Amino acid sequence: MDEQRLDRVVDQLMASYDEDRRLGEVPGLPPQEAIVAVIEQMRRLLFPGYYAADTLPAASRRYRVGTWICQLYTDLARILARAIAHAEPAAGPDAVRKRARDITGRFIDGLPGVRACLRQDAEAALEGDPAARNIEEVVLTYPGFEAITVHRIAHWLHDERVPYVPRAMSEWAHARTGIDIHPGARIGRRFFIDHGTGVVIGETTDIGDDVKIYQGVTLGALSVSRSLAGAKRHPTIEDRVVIYAGATVLGGQTVIGRGAVIGGNVWLTTSVAPATTVIESPPTLDFREPATPAD
């Protein structure tokens, strides 16, 4: 490459960098690779017999788990500190570190509760899918379980008002599984996504207990205007609802009542009473015989 071309490209890039918000004025965000590594550490702690390459013999189990927790505490606190410092450049480094450590400590304290909730999710999948042979198969192979695992972690951090990191986690899970769950969505116990590809669950969605949804379901908003940021834009799904493949449920005022069943490809922007079944009228099919070849 000749020097004039190099200078021209460098000058253009430098000028474009000036358009980036606060570039060079605030600490950089934690890299995606570090966030993914922390997710893997969390999954190892939550299900060590599944995600950890290490075995856990009884004689060394406490030592191993204790070591993993200490490593997670150090790495997560570092990531959260970078994210908080980026979002709050006026905060002093001591205050940022203290907040990051406080959040990390509370997260570590809550790990047993997260594991108990995820165990119930896995059991719901086993109960709800006759193709599932055992819990191990659900945990290791089901994209819906992987997505809800990451979501329950990201949602906890979202509720703590951690910037950037929860969304980075959810988008990583989205890329891996094809399931897009915003970290702000509130999801109850024993949640099961069957198949999963193409599922979208928006930020202000509320989902109750024992809900089952299939591939291609969208729980979305009627409008995507920026003026609605922070408002309730996505539906409420009450306990024991089943939503079949391809259904779309939109709107912050839309409530799907307890025990309702939403059929495949249904489009809903209004509430549904409890225990109601909603199905789409069958289309009219046109069967055409092949044309007879000319003699």
**Residue-wise pLDDT tens for the chain (295 aa)?**
788 898 899 888 887 877 665 555 666 899 999 999 999 999 999 998 787 666 777 788 888 899 999 999 999 999 999 999 999 988 999 999 999 999 999 999 999 999 999 999 999 999 999 999 999 999 999 999 999 999 999 999 999 999 999 999 999 999 999 999 999 999 999 999 999 999 999 999 999 999 999 999 999 999 777 777 778 999 999 999 999 999 999 999 999 999 999 999 999 999 999 999 999 998 899 999 888 776 5
Which ranges of the chain would DSSP assign to H, the alpha helix?
3-17, 32-46, 48-51, 61-87, 93-128, 135-141, 143-159, 165-177
Contact 37, 75 (CB under 8 A): yes
185-280 has CATH 2.160.10.10 classification? yes
| pLDDT at residue 26, rounded to an integer | 62
Please tell me the distance from the alpha carbon of residue 105 to that of residue 157, in angstroms, as a whole number: 12
Contact 238, 255 (CB under 8 A): yes
Beta bridge partners of 250: 220
Q: Of 255, 143, 150, 251, give the one whose Cα is nearest residue 194.
A: 143
Domain locations in the chain? 22-179, 185-280
How many residues make up the chain in this entry? 295
Distances (CA, A) of 35 to 42, 104, 112: 11, 14, 21
Please tell me the distance from the alpha carbon of residue 121 to that of residue 134, in angstroms, as a whole number: 13
| pLDDT at residue 51, rounded to an integer | 76
Q: Which residue, chain included where needed, has tokens 């996505």?
A: 234
Please tell me the distance from the alpha carbon of residue 244 to that of residue 35, in angstroms, as a whole number: 33
Task: Pick 22-179's CATH classification: 3.40.50.720, 1.20.1250.20, 1.20.58.220, 1.10.3130.10.
Answer: 1.10.3130.10
| pLDDT at residue 23, rounded to an integer | 58
| pLDDT at residue 294, rounded to an integer | 65
Residue 236: exposed, middle, or buried by beta-carbon count in 10 A (0-12, 13-18, 19+)?
Answer: buried
| pLDDT at residue 282, rounded to an integer | 86
> Which residues are CB-neighbours of 204 under 8 A, at least 6 positions away?
184, 185, 221, 231, 232, 233, 234, 252
| pLDDT at residue 46, rounded to an integer | 93
| pLDDT at residue 25, rounded to an integer | 61
* Amino acid present at 159: D
